[in-house]
Amino acid sequence: MAISQDTLNTLWLLICSGEIILMQLGFCMLESGLVRTKNSINVAVKNLSDFCIATVLFWIVGFAFMFGDSWYGIIGLSNWFAADLVAGFDVAYFLFQLVFCATAATILSGAVAERMSFRGYLIITLIVSLIIYPISGHWIWNEAGWLAQIGYVDFAGSTAVHAVGGFFALAAVLVIGPRIGWLDGRSKMSSSHSLVIATFGVIVLFFGWFGFNGGSFLEFNEKVPGVLIVTSMAGAAGGMAAMLISNWRLGYPELREMLNGVIAGLVSVTACCHVISVGESILIGALGASICYLSARILEKFRVDDVVGASSAHGFPGIWSVLCVALFGDQESIGTGLSFLEQLGVQALGALTVFLWAFGIGYIFLKIVNRFFHLRIDEESERIGLNVAEHGATTEILDLLEEMGRHRERGDFSRRVEADPFTEVGQIASEYNTVIEKVALEILQREEIASRLQLEKQKTDTINKSIMSSIEYAQRIQAAILPDPSLLNAKFRESMVLYQPRDIVSGDFYWFLEDGDSIYIAVVDCTGHGVPGAFMSLIGSILLGDIVRGQSLQDPAMILAALHKGVRKALKQETNSGSIDGMDVALVRIDPDQIYFSGAKRPLYVIRRQGASFALEEIRGDRKSVGGRQRETERIFHTFKIARTEDMILYLTTDGYVDQPNADLDPFDSSRLKQLLEAIAELPMAEQRTRLKGELDNFRRGKAFRDDITLIGLRL
């Protein structure tokens, strides 16, 4: 049975819509590939979110604003929720226009990457999808729109889509400002996450552009192949032009410039692809890439930080494209009845209007929004990356660097890092594990030699008495600062304290304070062991008491920040470059109805009953210690708020328990501890303490302790 032309046209629009949806994937890959690794997940989330938001808003009001009955050629005011559409071509047309809206919205995400908050991005996506795109689209593509009425031609959306997205992106980066460090001459801001992924994204965009331009006929006719040919030629010419320009300026072809050159070439042909020849498309694409390259250099000179070059690749080539309708287009094919100069004037007026609308009005909108809702993240979040700060994500390389940092700071190489042999980072971790195993073995051999030498040196009673006197003094210090564990039993249903120094005295201590209805409890792991650790314990205990009682601080995060300053002052770390001592802390404030937790490299384990079993939740603290080698005068910590419930159990612990090795130098590990805590949750606290000690002793199989242990359990 033969397919009717109407059915064929409907099928063609649906296929082109699918291709344009793939452009969303292309933008996601391009942008996440060009940003730094620590922000790649955030860019991907924004790309997915803006597509979802644009889709829903275009259905509710965008289609009505754009294609509804025109009010003086300015805005549509009918067909809300696309209610007048019927099955067949009308629905396919709606879908085709919907994916155009999503494309305009997503251009923004790459420009503002690495420093715009997720909440702020959602707000500006609403502005683009609800106001900026559909209203200007009404002027251009609605037959009653005022630009369409005077003969303005933008065949597939070089200004309606790309210039709108590009110039709104330019307004956004001016409002939020450049990334930290970008103005210091480091304009490249380190390497891109993956230029391979970015290149794949551009190839996907190239394919999607066939649907963009080919589908804009709204029917499958004999002109479609010609449009696809000129689209291909313009994109290829743009890539070649960018390659030649970068090779001329830098001495080698720069891939990032080539990627934007391809996009600029495709944008440049979008408005005029139906009225130009193949040869003209090559010239238009090459000049469009040149405009992109020149505008990017100008924006850099004026210190405009557009991370992926969205405004240069979409905004300025979009203006060039609509001018090419008059400059290169066949007058008969254009079909407006205007002369060359008249058509050029109309095209210039439309281009200027779109610029003023997307950039000018967009800038005003963004300044107003930024006054009430800060669009930019804080400095600390930008430093650690939006993957962690906004989405709680991490990466293999961040985890590896953290473990390597712990080895450097503590000098304890008994704990190996996790390694996935099927990833590049995993291969690095495996090699690093091989090195630290040899280092650990060497350290162990040296410690054994040193131990024998120490025994041989202890020949006189004078030396023995001196050593014992120091140790006994340290023991008295530690005994004085440690609270009586029975005080915890008086305040909670049950409690237990597992406290086991590696040496006679410990670098760990625990702290307890009751202030009104609030109870403060902390476990602290100080740098060092033995006598130095005992003195660090004394400093930490005194400071904590003074901060809560003397300074009247109640927020655990503020307490840790004050403790950081106090430790640095007490140890004179501002002037003593050799002092690297610090503390890892887990601190909770327990109120009658709430629990507040803040951690400096230490977590809080929370167990709740779920039916007949128990479930454990790990709340990680911040990735920074109190005091220590790093020179920040102030540090920002975060407080986590937890609702207090019946039969809840809290565990605070230093890393001593999980870091204890067995004979094979394998650590007990945190995952094994969490499984054990879930398994023993229903036991009385006294039995839990026995089980915890017994499980660790069985694991160690007589291996000497390598760290102090402090673990507190509280059943509320």
Q: In this model, does residue 558 exceed pLDDT 60?
A: yes
pLDDT-wise least confident of 208-217, 260-269, 535-544, 572-581: 572-581
The string of pLDDT tens digits covering residues 598-656 is 999 999 999 998 888 889 999 999 988 998 766 677 888 999 999 998 889 999 999 99
Instruction: Look at residue 644 in the predicted model and tell me its pLDDT.
Output: 92
The string of pLDDT tens digits covering residues 207-217 is 999 999 999 98
The neighbouring-strand residues paired with 376 are: 116
- pTM value is 0.61
Helix orientation angle between 685-700 and 670-679, rounded to the nearest 10 degrees: 140
141-144, Cβ contacts within 8 angstroms, sequence gap of 24 or more: 141/66, 141/67, 142/66, 142/67, 142/70, 142/76, 144/69, 144/70, 144/73
The string of pLDDT tens digits covering residues 559-614 is 999 999 988 888 888 776 667 788 999 999 999 999 999 999 999 999 998 888 88
Q: What phi, psi does 68 have (nearest 5°)? A: -75, 175
Instruction: Look at residue 186 in the predicted model and tell me its pLDDT.
Output: 47
| Residues in contact with 104: Cβ distance below 8 Å, sequence separation at least 6, in sequence order | 54, 128, 132, 133, 160, 161, 162, 164, 165
Q: pLDDT confidence of 386, banded at 50, 70, 90?
A: confident
DSSP conformation class of 217: G
Instruction: Look at residue 187 in the predicted model and tell me its pLDDT.
Output: 44
Q: In this model, does residue 460 exceed pLDDT 60?
A: no
Instruction: Tell me how long the chain is.
Output: 716
Instruction: Look at residue 55 in the predicted model and tell me its pLDDT.
Output: 93
What is the distance between the alpha carbons of residues 671 and 590, in angstroms, rounded to a whole number? 26
pLDDT (mean) for 108-118: 91
> Quick one: how far is CA 586 from the chain centroid?
25
Q: How many helices (H) and strands (E) does the chain have?
A: 28, 13
Of residues 264 and 491, more confidently modeled: 264
